[in-house]
Amino acid sequence: MRVSITTLGCRVNSYESDAMAGLLRGAGFEIVPENAPADIAIVNTCTVTNIADRKSRQMISRAVKLNPKAKVIVTGCWSQREPERALALPGVSAVLGNSEKSRILEVIGGLMAGEYAAGSVPDVMRERSFEELSAVAEGRTRAYLKIQDGCDRFCTYCAIPYARGRVRSRGLDSVRRELERLDEAGFAEVVFTGIHLTDYGKDLDGVNLADAIDRAEGLYNIKRIRLGSLEPHGMTDGLIERITGNGRVCPQFHLSLQSGSDTVLQRMRRGYTAEEYAAIVEKIRSAYGENAPFVAFTTDIIAGFAGETIAEHEETKAFMERIGFARTHVFPYSRRSGTVADRMPGQLENAVKSARAQELIALGRSLERRFLEGFLEREVRVLVETEHREGLMGGFTDSYVRVLTGSGAPGELINVKIKSITEDENGELSLLSYN
């Protein structure tokens, strides 16, 4: 029996889709591409923006049209927030909550036997246990490990806490077991992922993110631990010291910013100031000494938040310059029903938000090129991942810079010397090696 899985949104969703695929393969199902005919179609939705909501519904409709006789199962963040609406869509057979993805075989079995009765999706805000899912994705050189779920922050613009629930953490013994599985599978790099990584261990006794990282000690194949998105709130001096002192941790920190203006940050209810953010960056850079210029800071920024003035927008641009981000992901502010920010005065026109986003994107690209220039004529270590083009292989440095090289094979860690910066037809920048 053939199953397709369509995934929208973040790395956590991707991890959970991989975990469901693993369960299905183990039970004898064939996993097919999302655009291939299937007997069962799973759509794992996202709700980070209104656009994500709309695209989730479009992908559900697409799955139904492509597979009119298939059982269509909807899960993920949008369907967690609006389960009745998801189940009412034509062709949808079942809706699974975000804490129920481990039940995928049970639900499919019920659907096939005609015994599944669509019930209500559990209230994820009441969930207190971490759903243990394992995912070893086929055909990849970098593995992901979900160690945390949920968020307790409730920023004024964000609907994710209502879709993911409160903070739940994978136990340290479970983290070790998963790392051992990935090490045995031969992965050289593992990315720790979660909804709010810096809150890892908040629900455990005396445990934090560094303890989870330390569980990789003694493993043979895993040479690099990369961290997913980090929030400034949890980056204490003690955590910074332990993370930067661990040789396996990649010197690339995706430290979520959202705005460089203190007044906007206050309206967002982010819980830190621009100066506090800058102090965290400086502490991390200082820990790397002479290698500080090659530590990559990447971030997310929302353009045109409710009430954002021209002066506040300019503060964000100045702050981006000050930090010197290696890469910036910019999103125009998207109003989310049910959030505090949706009711705030001073909502900007879409054209204004789009124009400001384009300014930030252009600045971000300039800063990215400036960061890459520092690698010219230097030797870097690259995890080779895929065949690229014109006989070149593509891979990433520990600071998550793409390198194109004429040597190496997927899964290998190699040292190369950087010759130049190259740009592809999509505007993506990479380093080109001499090899």
| Superfamily per CATH, domain 142-372 | tm_1862 like domain (3.80.30.20)
**What pLDDT is attached to residue 138?**
59
Q: Are 45 and 12 in contact (CB under 8 A)?
A: no
pLDDT at 352: 98
For the cut 80, the answer to whether the pLDDT of residue 118 exceeds it is no
Q: Which pLDDT score is estimated for 139?
A: 61
Tens digits of per-residue pLDDT, 327-383? 999 999 999 888 999 999 999 999 999 999 999 999 999 999 999 999 999 999 999
- Supply the pLDDT for residue 50: 86
Q: What average pLDDT does this structure show over 109-124?
A: 80
Spatial neighbors of 283 by CB under 8 A, at least 6 apart, are 237, 240
The pLDDT value recorded for residue 128 is 86
pLDDT reported for residue 254: 97
**pLDDT grade for 177, boundaries at 50, 70 and 90:** very high
Residue 389: pLDDT over 80: no
Residues of the chain with CATH 2.40.50: 379-433
CA-CA distance, 325 to 361, in Å (whole number)? 12
How far is C-alpha 402 from the geometric centre of its chain's CA atoms?
18
pLDDT more than 90, % of the chain: 83
Residue 24 has pLDDT above 90, yes or no: yes
Higher confidence at residue 426 or residue 59?
Answer: 59
CA–centroid distance for 359 within its chain? 24
Which residue intervals of the chain bear CATH 3.40.50.12160?
2-122
- Count of C-beta atoms within a 10 Å radius of residue 293: 11
- pLDDT exceeds 90 at position 135: no
The correct answer on CATH 2.30.30 for the domain covering 379-433 is: no
Contact indicator for 371, 296 with CB cutoff of 8 Å: yes
What is the per-residue pLDDT for 45? 96
User: Which residues are registered as beta bridge partners of 59?
Assistant: none
What is the percentage of the chain residues whose pLDDT exceeds 70? 99
pLDDT at residue 64 greater than cutoff 90:
yes
| CATH of 2-122 among 3.30.470.20, 1.20.120.10, 3.30.160.270, 3.40.50.12160 | 3.40.50.12160
pLDDT at residue number 126? 84
Q: Is the pTM of this model over 0.85?
A: yes
Per-residue pLDDT band at 306 (split at 50, 70, 90):
very high
Token reading at 269? 């209810």
- Least confident range from 80-84, 120-124, 391-395: namely 120-124
What is the per-residue pLDDT for 117?
65
C-alpha dist (Å) from residue 369 to 102, 374, 392: 43, 9, 21
